Amino acid sequence: MTVFPQLSSGAVAQFPFQREMRQRTLANRSADGTDIRTADVDFHERVWEISFNGLSNAEWESIANLFTAVEGRLREFLFLEPGANLLSWSEQLGNAVWTKSAGLSVLGGQADPTGGSAATRLTGGGSAGFVRQTLNIPAAFHYSGSVWARTASAGAKLRVSDTGGLLVETPFDGSNVWKRYSAGSHLSSLSELTEYSIVAPAAASIDIYGPQLEAQPSPSLYKRTLKQAGVYPNARFGMDVLADRVTGVDQHSGVIRISWIPSQT
């Protein structure tokens, strides 16, 4: 998998970085001089500008190797947006992107810990069940999975896995009080798939809110997502030359520009 690398810290970027959303307007001038303008609904672009400072030789080399492999702007690679929620439809666990085990009931519109009604109630059947989302992202990256949960049952848990048996998980405490749980992973796996799961014991009732997976060691504030989350499999470099400024021994700095245009994917 051709993917933009993480730093040795497990982060994708250093802060601050910039992200822009660009849109295009179509203009047509008629014979009488009248201008007709409308939004081009088939085009938009996201652009990230990331400044790196103090990177080690190995960290800078990993970026340079990717730049060479994709030939600058020419070819695509996978980019995981820094700090973004990688899960799609984070408040619609009935959506098809979420896989549910047989017998597990999923009911949205429940009271959530922020005072709203965006939580989801999972009710297990006669055996243990799960709801999960599988992403086409390398399992060996640093990830932080998190979720708000409330249950009176023992045995429920948050799990991040490589789909092949390697996993990390965090149990819910059964206190029936809203708490945010997290599970950090850095699996020694060659799998190009990563799964985020909520595991429910038989006959248990679990309220969950804000499922989130981030490409970093620790969780940040919850970000609600719809169809497009923080996974961009067809990103490109927005530059023809990778400029490296050496500031000392084993110290590299530079500015990286990355763009994503869905109409060109």
CA 98 to chain centre: 15
Residue 138 has a pLDDT of 98
Residue 108 has a pLDDT of 96
Contact yes or no for 66/77 (Cβ under 8 A) = yes
Q: How far apart are CA 88 and CA 97, in angstroms?
A: 7
In total, the chain counts a number of residues equal to 265
Residue 34 has a pLDDT of 81
Catalogue all structural domains in the chain, each as residue range(s) with its CATH number: 17-82+231-264 (no CATH), 99-214 (2.60.120.260)
Residue 164 has a pLDDT of 92
Q: 110: which residues sit within 8 A by CB, 6+ positions away?
A: 117, 119, 120, 121, 207
Q: Please list the pLDDT of the chain residue by residue as tens digits (265 residues).
A: 899 999 999 999 999 999 998 877 778 877 777 887 777 666 689 999 999 999 999 999 999 999 999 999 999 999 999 999 999 999 999 999 999 999 999 999 999 999 999 999 999 888 889 999 999 999 999 999 999 999 999 999 999 999 999 999 999 999 999 999 999 999 999 999 999 999 999 989 999 999 999 999 999 999 999 999 999 999 999 999 999 999 889 999 999 999 999 876 5
Query: Phi and psi for 34 in degrees, rounded to 5?
Result: -75, 135
Q: Identify the sign of the CA torsion 173, 177, 179, 181.
A: positive
Residue 82 has a pLDDT of 96
